[in-house]
Amino acid sequence: MPRLSLYRPNRTRDYQFLDRRISEMYTVGGIDIFIHKFLGPKATTPDGSSEDISTLTNADATLPAYSQSSPLFIEDLLLLENRDRAYDPDVYVMRGVYKHQDIDFDLTQFGLFLNNDTLFITFHYNNMIDTFGRKLMNGDVLEVPNLKDYHPLNSAIPEPLPRYYVIQDANFASEGFSQTWYPHLWRIKATPLVNAQEFQEVLKKPMVKDTAWDPGNYYPYGSIVNQGGSYYIAIKNTPADIDINNTEYWKPYTPLTEADLMTTRPKDLEINDAILIQAEADVPKSGYDTVKFYILPTNPDGAPADPTQYTADYTFSDASRTISDTQDQLTPTGDGYTTGYLTGDGIAPNGLPVIPGVSFPQGVPLGTYCLRLDYYPHRLFRFDGARWAKIEDVVRTQLTPGQKMKRYAVVLLTIRNRLTPMIADQFQVDRVCRRH
């Protein structure tokens, strides 16, 4: 009598029978899940199709160039990230099963966590392979249609808000092993999608009722139509047989995308901008303001000079007197006790006049201040009769990086990327970048 055993080295008819029954259960009791297939990092060749990548000028070995997209590739080998992801334009549909759960506090860890935003969905394994072509993996994006928000707080949104999830982990489900010891189910862990750089191809779809333009129809004011992939909005009631290029009735329209309407990023940016505006009002510049302090001039021997000497608020009682008079040339030789970290502002002590320019003025009296604009940062000098002595560098600037600072950062980054392959000593590279 042969030995009885449910397990067989090969997938026999017992396995096939059980697999069909399980597939039927998912067909009857499951829900349609729309899947955006992750193709890998975007191709980095100029046309995205060339096999010759030797012409690329990428000098960073941690950012390899790929001639095509593949889920086996890694865009950033240093940070192990795929920031610029490519997704299949086709959307796949598969039946899945997941368990609904209410808001629940997870007290098994330090802190307080909500675990209602993570879905564990199971799919029939063989149906997944036949439909999707591979196993579901990290990076694939799921859209769960039964969780759509049909009543958003913003009533101006024309369509229900979809609910997207991104797969974080995938493996065989423990409940999917049958009596033959072979798995039949694939279980994934998914978390809500955020408006990040990785998912721009998924969230770039316009959030508008897609109505194809028909020249024979009447369109009331505010109607939005799609003509050849471009959107137009009616700026007045439009009778039939009006051409779409008639600017009296139609104008181009750029609809908001899903990323603009269903994520918190626009509101986060608004909050961040408001915080920056208030921060710039409270602390406009680095260091502290020293303009309001009076600096006592000193004689050439270092002794304090007459405190009634010339200042910005000084008015002459005698019209024949000028600034070049001997008694009015004792200006402060520095910021004195007000000198501190990042306090150089290019303003002369006591509000005295400053001559700005890209060269030193000629024939000026003793104690004259000059602000050289060709220095970076700008530098304030004082003429002591024999030389132009440095007073301070203009380092008191805004704390928020502006376009100028961003431009300098781009220039320095370009210099560094070009010098690194040619100069082995990294300290030498840093020295050259600082000099620029």
Q: Rounded to whole angstroms, how far apart are CA atoms 1 and 112?
A: 61
**Mean pLDDT over residues 58-75, rounded?**
84
Q: In the prediction, which pLDDT does 341 show? A: 85
Express as a percent the part of the chain with pLDDT over 70: 78
What confidence tier does 123 reach under pLDDT thresholds 50, 70, 90? very high
pLDDT at 47 over 70: no
Nearest 5 degrees, angle CA 62-CA 67-CA 72?
65
Average pLDDT over residues 231-235: 89
Tell me the per-residue pLDDT of 238-252, one tens digit each, with 9 for 90 and over: 888 888 888 889 999
pLDDT tier, 114 (very low <50, low <70, confident <90, very high otherwise) = low
pLDDT band at 53 (very low <50, low <70, confident <90, very high): very low
What pLDDT does residue 59 have? Answer: 58
All residues at 6 or more sequence positions from 218 whose CB lies less than 8 Å from its CB, including other chains: 237, 238, 239, 240
| 13-203 carries CATH number 2.40.10.370 | yes
CA nearest neighbour of 185 among 196, 174, 193, 194 = 174
Rounded Cα gap, residues 412 and 401, in angstroms? 15
Of 51-65, 188-202, 233-247, 310-324, the poorest mean pLDDT is in 310-324
Q: What is residue 156's predicted lDDT score, i.e. its pLDDT?
A: 78
Burial per residue of 46-78, b for 16 or more beta-carbon CB atoms within 10 angstroms, e otherwise: eeeeeeeeeeeeeeeeeebebbbbebebbbeee
Burial group, residue 176, by CB count within 10 angstroms (0-12, 13-18, 19+): middle
Where does the pLDDT of residue 343 fall: very low under 50, low under 70, confident under 90, or very high at 90 and above?
confident
**184 versus 257: which is more confidently predicted?**
184
**CA angle, 61 as apex, 55 and 65 as ends, to 5°?**
45
- Range from 174-183, 209-218, 364-373, 379-388 carrying the lowest mean pLDDT: 209-218
Report which of residues 6 and 26 the model is more confident about.
26
pLDDT digits (tens, 9 = 90+) for 344-391: 888 998 888 999 999 999 988 888 999 999 998 999 999 988 899 999
State yes or no: pLDDT of 423 exceeds 80.
no
The answer to which of 234-238, 364-368, 393-397, 411-415 has the lowest mean pLDDT is: 411-415
- Report, as an integer, the average pLDDT of 36-54: 68
351/290 Cα distance (integer angstroms): 10
**Band (55; pLDDT cuts 50, 70, 90):** very low
Q: What mean pLDDT comes out for the span 390-394?
A: 91
Position 54 scores a pLDDT of 46
pLDDT in tens, 288-337: 888 888 888 877 666 777 666 555 555 544 445 444 444 445 788 888 88
Pick the more confident residue, 274 or 3: 274
Higher pLDDT among residues 54 and 274, named by residue: 274
Half-sphere exposure (Cβ direction) of 19: Cα atoms closer than 13 Å: 17
The answer on pLDDT for 225 being more than 50 is yes
Q: In whole numbers, what is the pLDDT of the chain averaged over residues?
A: 81
Quick: pLDDT tens for 127-167: 999 999 999 999 999 999 999 999 888 887 888 889 999 99
State residue 313's pLDDT score.
Answer: 54
Instruction: Let me know: does 254 contact 242? Beta carbons within 8 Å.
Output: no
